[in-house]
Amino acid sequence: MTTTLIGLKRLSGNNIASPIGFKATGLHCGIKHKKNDLALLISEVPASVAGVFTTNAIQAAPLIVTKEAIQQSGKMQAIIVNSGNANACTGKQGVKDARQMQQKTAEKLGIAPELVGVASTGVIGEVMTMEPIIKGIQKLEPSSELEGSILFSQAILTTDTVTKNTAYSTEIDGKKVTIAGTAKGSGMIDPNMATMLGFITTDANIESIHLQAALKTVTDLTFNSITVDGDTSTNDMVLVMANGMAGNDSLTPAHEGWEQFIATLQAVSQDLAKMIAKDGEGATKLIEVEVTGAITDAEARKIAKTVVGSPLVKTAIFGCDANWGRIIAAVGYSGATLNPDTIKIDIGSTTVVEKGEPVTFSEAQLLVYLKQPEVKIFVDLQQGNGKGIAWGCDLTYDYVQINATYRS
């Protein structure tokens, strides 16, 4: 079963290996006590590659190695991922270990090391125990079947409560083009980037330089528009591999199918971003903030992310408290250009502020809405044509408990 969305088809399988020529798997190698902790994603042929990485000045060893690989070859054919240990703040030994993961994976697959990306997630500051990882790499047997993709998506998780997968197809040059994605992340989420690993596959034919431009465009509208707790991690990245096996003409901004490709890539990225926000540590609600009437789209996104990231707004939503004062205060300290006398705020379908002043509304009716699993806040500045959306989650007792005992 598929659902048509703006000319795209959302695939029910949600399979990272749905595009032609991709395989995936995951297993338990022993980094964690019981759960899957080692994953592999491969393409039959070297693929064009694009990546966006954490803005944290302290970057984990796997990011260093993966960036080097992209710079060396401009292509990628495999990604090896471990969870349970971030391999961050581990000095020269950490880089050595990440390179060993890269080398052993390349040997396993019979490909050049510079075609292998490396990603890690987990506890910061602990040196990797390499023996189980090396043994685990030898046991990995990727598959194009759904089971392999499920194992992959499970093996990359840390405090996540659910796996995060999505896939869409579209038609370009008369060819079916598929884009699929898998991600992890539920805490330390405040991109530009954050504790998030995202892996996107496509069989589209597109050169790396244009794929990078496409990823940058959609990242600003999706992954960089979510926040859970305001912390930015040391490890996070989103990687896209495009192996060209769909057989379309090479995509460029001048290609008539470019906008369709961008829309499909954005649909995949937005699904993953919203899943991450919804699965925030201890979260009970997904919060969406839509801002219109700003001077620019960038300012609208800035305001939306400020509101959804406010601890006071997040706790009010958790408590089902229609405290719009916290919303307008966040709008005010966002740093964006605004006129306090023109601001309109709606929570769901209920207007709570009009022209910067309070409006009489039914607290009881709004309470019913705030108890729903998804809460939408609309802010209209009435200053221009800029618009933007951001996603986040409520802040709960469980968030404190999870992060107070993370290493226990």
What's this model's pTM, rounded to 2 decimal places?
0.80
Structure tokens at 120: 């890690």
Q: Give the SS3 label for residue 270.
A: helix
The CA-atom distances, in angstroms, between 188 and each of 151, 183, 331 are 24, 14, 23
The CA-atom distances, in angstroms, between 334 and each of 7, 81, 293, 331, 355 are 36, 36, 15, 5, 18
* Summary mean pLDDT of the chain: 89
Q: In the structure, what pLDDT confidence band is assigned to residue 400 with cuts at 50, 70 and 90?
A: low
* pLDDT tops 80 at residue 23: yes
Domain spanning 2-277 has what CATH number? 3.60.70.12
* Per-residue confidence (pLDDT) for residue 127, from 0 to 100: 94
Residue 293 near residue 386 (C-beta atoms within 8 A)? yes
Active site residue 219: no
* pLDDT tops 50 at residue 18: yes
Per-residue pLDDT tens over the stretch 334-343: 989 999 999 9
State how far the Cα of 392 lies from the Cα of 395, in Å rounded to an integer.
10
* Per-residue confidence (pLDDT) for residue 408, from 0 to 100: 47
Per-residue pLDDT tens over the stretch 341-391: 999 999 999 999 999 999 999 999 999 999 998 999 999 999 999 999 998
Per-residue pLDDT tens over the stretch 245-285: 999 999 999 999 999 999 999 999 999 988 888 776 657 78
CB atoms within 10 A of CB 174: 9
* pLDDT tops 90 at residue 93: yes
Q: 286-404: which CATH topology? A: Ubiquitin-like (UB roll) (3.10.20)
Q: Are strands 237-242 and 197-202 parallel, antiparallel or unpaired?
A: parallel
Domain-wise residue ranges, the chain: 2-277, 286-404
List the catalytic residue out of 66, 178, 182, 195: 195
Q: In the structure, what pLDDT confidence band is assigned to residue 3 with cuts at 50, 70 and 90?
A: very low
Question: Residue 100: what residue type?
Answer: Q
DSSP secondary-structure letter at 306?
H
Per-residue pLDDT tens over the stretch 179-205: 999 999 754 434 433 357 999 999 999
Q: In the structure, what pLDDT confidence band is assigned to residue 225 with cuts at 50, 70 and 90?
A: confident
Structure tokens at 303: 């305001």
